[in-house]
Structures are given as C-alpha cells and as structure tokens.
Chain A
Amino acid sequence: MKNLPLLFCGIFFALAFSYTGLIVSGNIQLGALEPSTETLVPSDSEVDENGQPLMVMPEGETLYPRKPSGLAEQGKKVYIEMGCMYCHSQQVRRRGFGADIDRGWGPRATVARDYVLQDRVLLGTIRTGPDLAHLGGRYAGEAGRDWNHLHLYNPQIVSEGSTMPPFAFLYKKQEIVNKPSEKALDFPPDSEYAPEPGYEIVPTRRAEALVEYLLSLKIDYSLPEAVIPE
C-alpha cells in the first residue's frame, strides 16, 4: 500500500469500525433510555409481535431516577470543580464481581438507566476513596449532613488517617455574635480542629450545595432491569 488514497482508506476504516461499533451502536442501544417506574405491568390494549401483552409503565407511579433539586445540581458543579471524581467512583458493581454490595456501597448494581438524567456522567475509574453512588443512603438526614460537613472541613475529624484533602476553604470562620449560627459545624469535644472559643465555622453556599449533592446520591429504588433484592 503505497499510494495515499488507498492507505488513507485503510486508516479511515480502522477507526470508523470502532467508532460505529462502540459509539454509534452504544448510542443506538442506550441513547433512548428514559426514566422508568419501578416495575412494568402488562398492557390491556397493546400486544407485541408474539401476541403477548406489551409491558408498560403503570400510570401515576413515580419515575426513577429522580430529578435532583436545584441546590444539588449546583453542588454537582462544585463536585466537578474540585475534581472529586479523581478519587471517587459512582458505580456499584454486581454481587460476585468485587465487594461493592458487601461493603454496603449500594443495595444493587447500577445500570445504564441510573445515569440518564445526568448532564455529566461521573462514573470514575479509581477508588482512592470509597464509591459514592449510594452515599446519601449511607449518611441520611441531619446526622448525615453534619457528618459530611465535618468530613469536608477536615476528613481527619471523622475518619482519622484518611488520605482525602481538607476542603476547609469551602467554610468560613467567623466570630460568634450573640448566639451561635444554626449552621455552625458541631465539632466533637476537644477536637484539635475546632476553632478557638468565641469563633465558629460555617459552611459557604458552595459547601451547602456540595453536601446537598452528596446526600442526593442514592440508589434506593428498583428499576425493571435492576431490582433491589428483598
């Protein structure tokens, strides 16, 4: 193969082959996925090509995955800006492949439909820190919020020996005027990271958004193709 057009065709088709095989066909297979209800029921009017009733979504039930709140969306921006995904993945591998489910990182394996509402998919490829796909399920409610704020302010407070960097720059130190702020971080007694008396640490809006986002990461719903085992 010495002439340019022929060589060029070979070079072109080599990449076109994988582009079609991986990207185009992947898009055909997955690009049309939509949120779904937890189960499908047989339709009473429509039938498939074999004459069996078509499986459809029951009316009026919640669609999953849910849409995140506006604050959580802002928090995701902070997560992206900080490069959190370079240490944390957001995917749960199936039982029998790794120990994700045994470690409590999620009640079931994640599937493609779990990600369809995300503008930027942050599957991640490394677990210098634990998987976060189900973080909001592991640290729920007010206690979860407090834990996450302390952990972000300085991971050593709640998980000593962690290699996660502190994100103290997302928090403000301020003098306590009259009474302490409701948002102030609640340090464990005698913590060496607590501010001096008369001062308090409060989260900035970015920190609040980031924690909101982290708490929104939850795999607490089944999908027709991925059911949470009882």
Chain B
Amino acid sequence: MSNESQIFSPSTNPYSSANEAVRAELSEIDASIRTASVFFVVSAIGWLMIGTVFALMAAFKAHQPDFLGAYEFLTFGRVRSAHLNAMAMGWGSNIIFAVGLWIMARLCRAKIDNKGILFIAGVFWNIGLTVGVFGILRGDITSVEWLEIPQYATPILAVSYALIGVWGVMAFRFRKGDHVYVSQWYILAALFWFPWLYIVAQAMIIWFPARGVVQSLTNWWFAHNVLGLWFTPMALATAYYLIPKVLGRPIYSYYLSVLGFWALAIFYNWAGVHHLIGGPIPAWLISAGVVASVMMVIPVIVVGLNHHMTVVGLHREVWRSPTLRFTVFGAISYTLVSLIGSAMALRSVNEITHFTHFTVGHAHHGVYAFFTMIMFGGVYYMMPRLLKREWPSAGLIKIHFWGCAIGITVMVVALQVGGWIQGVEMNNPEIPFLETVQNTIPWLKARSVSGIFLTVGHIAFAVNFFWMLFAAGAVRAKSGPTLLTKEGGAA
C-alpha cells in the first residue's frame, strides 16, 4: 500500500476515526439531524427529477416549437420557468438545507434540537414550492426572472424559510470550541443574505412595485445574488469542508480563505447590474456593476488557489473518491465560470454575449457544473455517515459522474459557442434576424443531446440513492467505503 492511500483510507472510511470521543460526538450530531436531512435529500432528488423533465421539454421546444405546442400550460415560457424554479428552489435550496445544515452542525459540534419543527418547516417549504410550480404552469406566472412563483405561494416559502434558516444560526450561536472554520462563515452569511434578498425583491417588485426600471435593478440585484450569495457560498462551504476532510490534509492557506470570503461578500452583491448593460438605467450604476464584476477575480483566484493547492499531488485519491471526483469538478468549474463571468461584464464582450444563449450557458455553468456537482459530492459524503450504510453501486456512481460531466460540458460549450455566433450576427444588421435564429438551431439541438446525458446521470443517482435508503440490509455489511477505482489503480 502506498503512502498516499494511507493518508486517504482512514478519512474516507465512515467507521474509522483517530479519536473515539470525536467519533461518538459526531455520530450523536448526525443522529440528531438524520430525519430532517434525509427528508431534504429525498425532496431535493424529487425536484431534481421533476426539473429534469421540464428541462428536457424546454430544451426540445427551443428547436422544435411545435413539440407539445397545443397545450397552454406547457408553452415554452411556463415550462422553462417551472424548470428554473424546480431546480433553484426545489433541488438547490433543499440540498442546501440538507448538506449546509449538516456541515454547520458538525463544525459547530452542536446537536440539532427541535428537529420536529425543522422537519415540519421543510414539509411546508416543499408544499409552497409545489403550489408555486403548479401556479406557474396554470398561468399565474409573474414573468419576473427568478421570481416566477405566484404571489399566493411566496408567503408559505418565506415563513418556512424563516424557520429553517434559524437552525443554522442557532447551531452557530451554541457552538462548542474556539475555532471557527471558513465553511461556517459562508453558511452563516448565506443563511442571512438569502431571506433579505428574497423579501426585498418580493416587496419591491411583486407586492408594492417600485417605479419603472427600479424594478429591473431590484430584479437583477436579487437574481444574480441568488447565485452569488446563496448557492455560491453554500457550495464553497461544502468544498472547503469536504476537500480537506477526505484528503486528511489541512486547507492550503487560512489567510487566503479569510480574504476570499470578505472579497466575495463585498464585491459579488454589486455585480448583478451587469445584466442591464446597455439598458435604460443610469450609466454610473452600470459602471459600478462592471467594476464589481471584474473585482470578483480576486475572491475567485483566492478560492481557486486554496482549493486547487490543497488537492495538488493527490489526484489519484480525488479520482477514487466519489465525493471528491464531483467536488473537484465543481471547484474547477467555479474558477472557470467566474472568470468567464467577469469577462462577460466588460462592455465590449457584453455587447455580443448579452441577449444570447451565451448567458444561458453561463448560468448552467455556474448552477450546474459548479454548485450542483459540489452538492452531489456532499451527498456522496453525507449519506453514508447519516445512514451508516454504504453506496450500493460504484458503477452507478460512475454513470452519474460521466453523464453529468459529459452532459454539462457539451451544454456549456454548445451554448457559449452558439451564443457567441448568435451575438456577433445579431449585431450585424446585414444579416436578417430570422437567419440568426436559424443558425442557433444546431447548437440548441446539441443542448438537447446534453440533456439526455444529464438525465441518465440523474437517474443513476436517484436509483443508487433509493437503493441505499430502502435496501439497507444487503449493503450494510460491506466492509469499506464505496470507491471508484481499485487500490491505487487507474479507473
């Protein structure tokens, strides 16, 4: 056995830890959050599947407009919005509640009390979402990007969030020990930022509409910050927790992680205005947004250095561990997508990419290749510890990984190349508009193909998960963790 695998094995094995007392304590914390976390993961996977179906329909409709065209409730605008909300609020937020709260509880070494209320709040979150998505399909859609859920469902979401978010803050308030990990900062901040964003956006756009384009400003301040101040910190927190934990190696630099956190906190929330470059709002606001977007290079490079330098030299371990294969894919995507995002905010680039499928590709690059992949990694790490069972099939994990990795790569490349061409052609008045539309069709077809890869991945994930959850007896006895390659071997 090589030296490297000795570092690796103890920490990936959920049944072993250097210190018996720590093990017992973690086990107690895990037990305290088990019901709620498992419920959130099950809901998240449910929404992931629902969102995937809507995604496939929307992708297919984009190049085949007649497809299911006779049904009002399945018209493109609604299906696409149902997809977005099922994924963002259903998959994204549920998986954040599952993984984020669990990491918070573990790092704070605080048990989760009153888990019954947490569970009920979770049930209401999902009821609110179900009402919301049905509302979108039946035409009560608001046509405000990222806030499509109709007015009658949002109070349910706001109240249940208020209940859920409190658990993270309470865990932090009653934490044991002196050391505060960078993951805890990210989670604490996100738990506080998200409701502020959501309530302000709801109030100023839906309930008491602000005058004119102030709505649009609020809209993009909110929508971009859902990515920047809700998904991003949660995924970074998860990566910051998982990478050192699985590799058994401390994070590269504590100082850098502090810098990265505060730079993100200060710059990211101004960046949303770059969605309005060229739009009817004051130039100084746009400039502020462009500057903030470019300044985002700082936290991105810093976090990238921290994540990638921690992994350096241990690539074989990353490849073997289901958790890290997904997490490191996500971490690399974060660096890439953020640098592209900063470039997209430059006026000369934005002139081409704005209003095109490039932006759609960019959004999927961020939410899927970065956020979702890291969260998959989090689920692969968390579930064996919560359930004290192992993942039944390494083969299914591989199918999941390759389906998602190939799918998202094809999608991002197709939409960004196609979108760039679309933008260049749109800005050339010599080319008729209809021709520019038709030139996007091959790229949109490539996106539909990528959707099939992603679907295969998601099905493999769901099958593996429910197999683990329900057919427990058969896999409980396995001696070690599920790994993707043999000891020290290649894939």
A: residues with CB less than 8 A from B are 1-2, 4, 7-8, 10-12, 14-15, 17-19, 21-23, 26-27, 29-33, 79-87, 89, 91, 93-94, 97-99, 102-103, 109-116, 118-123, 125-130, 155, 159, 161-169
**Interface hits, B34-61 → A, CB 8 Å:** 61
Q: Is the CB of A31 within 8 A of B214?
A: yes
CA distance A55 to B351 in the complex (A): 35
Asked if A22 meets B204 with Cβ closer than 8 Å, knowing A80-B143, A86-B80, the reply is no
- Contact status of A121 and B213, CB under 8 A, knowing A83-B81, A102-B429: yes
- Decide if A30 touches B173 in the complex (CB within 8 Å): no
Note all chain A residues with C-beta closer than 8 A to B433: 103, 130
Stretch at the interface among B17-25, B280-288, B314-322: B280-288
| Closest residue on chain A to residue B222 by CB atoms | A23
- Whether A98 touches B280, Cβ cut-off 8 Å, given contacts A31-B214, A161-B437, is no
Q: Let me know if A120 and B215 touch, CB within 8 A.
A: yes
Q: Which residues of A contact B66 (CB under 8 A)?
A: 165-166
**B134-162 near A? 1/0 per residue, CB < 8 Å:** 00000111111100000000000000000
For this complex, 30 residue pairs linking A to B, each with C-beta atoms less than 8 Å apart, are A2-B180, A7-B185, A8-B188, A8-B192, A22-B285, A23-B214, A30-B211, A30-B214, A31-B211, A80-B141, A82-B139, A83-B80, A83-B141, A84-B143, A86-B143, A98-B278, A98-B426, A99-B426, A103-B433, A109-B280, A123-B216, A123-B279, A126-B359, A126-B360, A127-B355, A127-B356, A128-B437, A163-B441, A163-B444, A165-B75
**Quick check: B63 and A11 within 8 Å, CB to CB?**
no
* Neighbouring B residues of A119 by C-beta, 8 Å: 209
- Determine if A11 and B142 form an interchain contact, defined as CB atoms under 8 angstroms apart: no
**A19 and B217 contacting across the interface, CB-CB below 8 Å:** no
Docked-complex contact A27 and B351, CB < 8 angstroms: no
- A70 to chain B minimum Cβ distance, whole angstroms, is 19
B interface: dominant SS: helix
Q: In this assembly, does B113 line the interface, its C-beta being within 8 Å of a C-beta of chain A?
A: no
Contact between A111 and B78, CB atoms less than 8 A apart: no
Among A21, A79, A102, the most chain B Cβ lie within 10 Å of the Cβ of: A21
Within 8 A of A (CB), among B173-229: 173, 178, 180, 185, 188-189, 192-193, 196-197, 200, 204-205, 209-218, 221, 229
From B62, B78, B221, A18 is in contact (CB under 8 Å) with: B221
Indicate if B312 sits at the interface (CB-CB under 8 A): no
For residue B347, which residues in chain A have a CB less than 8 angstroms away from its CB?
Answer: 97
Question: What residues of chain A lie closer than 8 Å to B71, measured between beta carbons?
Answer: 169
Using Cβ atoms and an 8 Å threshold, which residues of chain B touch A27? 210-211, 214
Which residues of chain B have C-beta atoms less than 8 A from A112's C-beta? 212-213, 280-282
A91 to B70, CA, bound (A): 30
Question: How distant is B39 from chain A, measured CB to nearest CB, in Å?
Answer: 28
Is the Cβ of B282 less than 8 Å from the Cβ of A29? yes
B270 beta carbon closer than 8 Å to chain A: yes
Task: Taking A22-B270, A83-B80 as given, write out 4 further A-B residue pairs in contact, using a Cβ cutoff of 8 Å, ordered by the A residue number.
Answer: A33-B212, A122-B143, A123-B216, A168-B69
In the complex, which residues of chain B have a beta carbon less than 8 angstroms from the beta carbon of A89?
Answer: 355
Q: Which residue of A lies closest to B192 (CB)?
A: A11
Interface residues of B (CB under 8 A from A): 61-63, 65-66, 69-72, 75-78, 80-81, 139-145, 172-173, 178, 180, 185, 188-189, 192-193, 196-197, 200, 204-205, 209-218, 221, 229, 262, 265-266, 269-270, 272-273, 275-276, 278-282, 285, 288-289, 347, 351, 354-357, 359-360, 426-429, 433-434, 437-438, 440-441, 444
- Across the A-B interface, give the 3 residue pairs with the lowest CB-CB distance, nearest first: A83-B77, A102-B429, A14-B265
With contacts defined as CB atoms under 8 Å apart, how many contacts are there between chain A and chain B in the complex? 213
Given contacts A4-B172, A121-B212, contact A83 B76 (CB under 8 A): yes
A169 surroundings in chain B (CB, below 8 A): 70-72
Q: Are B429 and A103 in contact (CB under 8 A)?
A: yes
Q: Which of B142, B278, B281, B357 contacts A94 (CB 8 A)?
A: B278
A163 to B80, CA, bound (A): 15
User: Which residues does chain B contribute within 8 Å of A79, judged by CB atoms?
Assistant: 143
Least CB distance from B207 to A in Å reads: 12
Most chain B beta-carbon neighbours within 10 Å: one of A81, A83, A130: A83
What chain B residues lie within 8 Å of A4 (beta carbons)? 172-173
Which residues of chain B come closer than 8 Å to A85, judged between CB atoms?
A: 77, 143
Chain A's closest residue to B281 (CB) is A112
Cα-based distance from A71 to B378 in the complex (angstroms): 52
- In the bound complex, what is the Cα–Cα distance between A159 and B432 (angstroms)? 12
Q: Which residue of B lies closest to A167 (CB)?
A: B75
Q: Which residues of A contact B180 (CB under 8 A)?
A: 1-2, 7
The reply to whether A121 and B275 contact each other, CB–CB distance below 8 Å, is: no
CA distance in complex: A81, B72 (Å): 10
Central interface residue in A33, A86, A87, A164, by most chain B CB within 10 Å: A86
- Among B144, B188, B221, the residue within 8 A (CB) of A22 is B221
Provide the residues of chain B in CB contact with A111, threshold 8 Å.
Answer: 280
The answer to whether B77 and A84 touch across the interface, beta carbons within 8 angstroms, is yes
